[in-house]
């Protein structure tokens, strides 16, 4: 706020501090809505919507649209590009320009918080992203029960419809093909003009992506980016693709985690890594899920900071432009949009789409468990613990309640024959057991897991309607 008052940010300097204040806070509040909305829409996808039709009518309308057909994937794609655009506005409004100084602070403090952009990173993360993700991790229904959420959903859907990011779909299909899996759809197959329009947008988006990659790689190999001096060009290229993979994994992890947050434990896969990941993520009161979101954001922002240094072109007037483009085009390239576009498609959206299609398979990846541990460690450092404070204040003011207060747990819903739509989770590798399995003692569950004959016996009893009577007796025998 001090930098804006002194006209030391881009919009404040070139236009007016008043406009900078307005755009900054509108953008940061919208970013908060976008980030919390993602957690809510993904997490509520399997839940029977009739359970909250009366208690949360606006959330019901929003989910009815978002979960119709393949709209959830469309929303995720448009939402991610919204984040990129909003963060760009936030930085133009509040990030320091030039060698900004403030309030006579020592040089070392200025270097840490202003020169490196660390102050802007903390502000954007804690105010605009993390505090809402913390609340939305457990209060999904209350969070999206507003017309602001509905408006944001429509904007994200419109961005997806534009086709700018449709190359992500092509990458999703390629990854699924390599894995020998089929991308299932909740809609009828495209035909005629609908199919032609879809593939036209895919081809146009892919062409833009290829051109952006060509320009960026040409500049990287020529050493014409803002990468730190002394770093070899070949190493900068390796860092670019390595960090994009890390960002992609983290982006996919959050989608997979929220996708299984509202389902029964028995439906979260049989892989040892999936079980370890879920045990760590949902143990106790579930604090590790929002804790992961905080650590994940710190990790992602750190990766993005390096990626931005790697990919932002730095070609001055008089130097040879990349591929001989005009000075106007080169100035546009120098803004860093090409790197942001590449990272959005290849390092964010594509991974989210794959994780949304195969969340159980994503959980079964051992790297998921390793990076969950890393993110929880980053959260434990306390660098972004202010997000917990802001989330607590926001929750108190908004009177958020945990979703279980309205719709119960997944096990409680199953016991009332109100099971979630687990078909929303494709590629599930195990068949859910009867409802009494989750209410049985842990020792009985383990015995059923380890001895197929015990499970077969209990199943046979359930078919005769005797399961509830024998559960207590069987647990005593265990």
Q: CA dist 75 to 10, 152, 211, 256, Å?
A: 31, 10, 25, 16
CB of 310 within 8 A of CB of 338?
A: no
Q: Please list the ranges in the chain whose pLDDT falls under 70.
A: 98-99, 179, 181, 262-264, 266-269, 285-286, 317-318, 410-412, 414-446, 448-478
Decide: 396 and 313 in contact? Cβ < 8 Å.
no
Q: What pLDDT is stored for residue 461 in this prediction?
A: 55
Q: Distance between CA atoms of 405 and 87, rounded to whole angstroms?
A: 34
Task: Give the per-residue pLDDT at 127.
Answer: 87
Using the 8-state DSSP alphabet, how is residue 114 labeled? Answer: I
Contact, 259 vs 356, CB < 8 A? yes
pLDDT at 147: 92
Joined tokens for residue 64:
């009815």
Helix (H) or strand (E) holding 93: helix 71-94
Predicted pLDDT at 331: 81
- The whole-angstrom separation of Cα 451 and Cα 140 is 38
Give me the pLDDT at residue 455, please.
66
What is the pLDDT at residue 47?
A: 83
pLDDT of res. 424: 52
CA 345 to chain centre: 13
Q: How far apart are CA 467 and CA 478, in angstroms?
A: 15
First to last CA, the chain: 64
Dist. CA 272–CA 252, nearest whole Å: 19
- Report the alpha-carbon distance of residue 35 to residue 294 in Å, rounded: 12
pLDDT at 432: 34
The SS3 assignment for 263 reads coil
User: Is 286:139 a contact under the CB 8 Å cutoff?
Assistant: no
């Amino acid at each position: 706020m001090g930098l804006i008052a002194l006209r030391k940010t881009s919009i404040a300097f070139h236009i007016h501090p008043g406009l900078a204040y307005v755009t900054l806070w509108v953008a940061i509040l919208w970013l908060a809505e976008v980030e919390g909305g993602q957690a809510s829409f993904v997490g509520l996808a399997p839940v029977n919507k009739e359970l909250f039709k009366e208690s949360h009518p606006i959330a019901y309308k929003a989910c009815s649209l978002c979960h119709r057909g393949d709209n959830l994937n469309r929303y995720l794609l448009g939402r991610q590009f919204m984040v990129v655009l909003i963060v760009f506005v936030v930085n133009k409004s509040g990030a320091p320009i030039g060698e900004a100084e403030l309030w006579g602070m020592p040089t070392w403090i200025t270097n840490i918080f202003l020169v490196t952009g660390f102050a802007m990173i903390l502000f954007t993360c804690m105010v605009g992203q993390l505090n809402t993700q913390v609340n939305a991790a457990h209060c999904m229904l209350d969070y999206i029960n507003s017309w602001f959420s509905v408006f944001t959903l429509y904007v994200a859907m419109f961005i997806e419809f534009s086709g700018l990011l449709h190359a992500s779909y092509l990458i999703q299909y390629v990854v699924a093909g390599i894995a020998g899996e089929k991308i299932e759809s909740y809609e009828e197959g495209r035909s005629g003009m609908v199919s032609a329009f879809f593939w036209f947008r895919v081809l146009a988006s892919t062409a833009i992506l290829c051109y952006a990659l060509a320009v960026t790689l040409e500049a990287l190999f020529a050493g014409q980016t803002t990468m730190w001096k002394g770093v070899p060009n070949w190493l900068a290229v390796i860092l670019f693709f390595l960090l994009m993979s890390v960002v992609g994994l983290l982006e996919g992890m959050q989608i997979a985690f929220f996708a299984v947050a509202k389902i029964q434990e028995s439906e979260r896969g049989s892989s040892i890594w999936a079980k370890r990941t879920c045990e760590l993520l949902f143990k106790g009161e579930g604090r590790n899920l929002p804790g992961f979101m905080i650590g994940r954001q710190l990790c992602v922002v750190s990766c993005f900071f390096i990626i931005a240094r790697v990919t932002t072109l730095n070609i001055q007037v008089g130097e040879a432009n990349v591929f001989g483009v005009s000075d106007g085009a080169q100035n546009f390239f120098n803004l860093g949009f090409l790197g942001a576009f590449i990272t959005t498609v290849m390092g964010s959206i594509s991974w989210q789409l794959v994780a949304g299609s195969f969340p159980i398979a994503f959980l079964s990846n051992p790297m998921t468990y390793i990076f969950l541990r890393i993110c929880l460690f980053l959260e434990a450092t306390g660098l972004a613990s202010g997000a917990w404070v802001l989330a607590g204040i926001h929750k108190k003011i908004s009177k958020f309640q945990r979703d279980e207060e309205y719709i119960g747990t997944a096990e409680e819903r199953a016991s009332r024959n109100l099971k979630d739509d687990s078909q929303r989770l494709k590629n599930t590798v195990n068949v859910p057991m009867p409802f009494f399995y989750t209410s049985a003692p842990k020792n009985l569950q383990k015995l059923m897991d380890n001895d197929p004959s015990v499970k077969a016996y209990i199943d046979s009893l359930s078919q005769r309607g005797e399961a509830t009577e024998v559960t207590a007796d069987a647990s005593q025998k265990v």
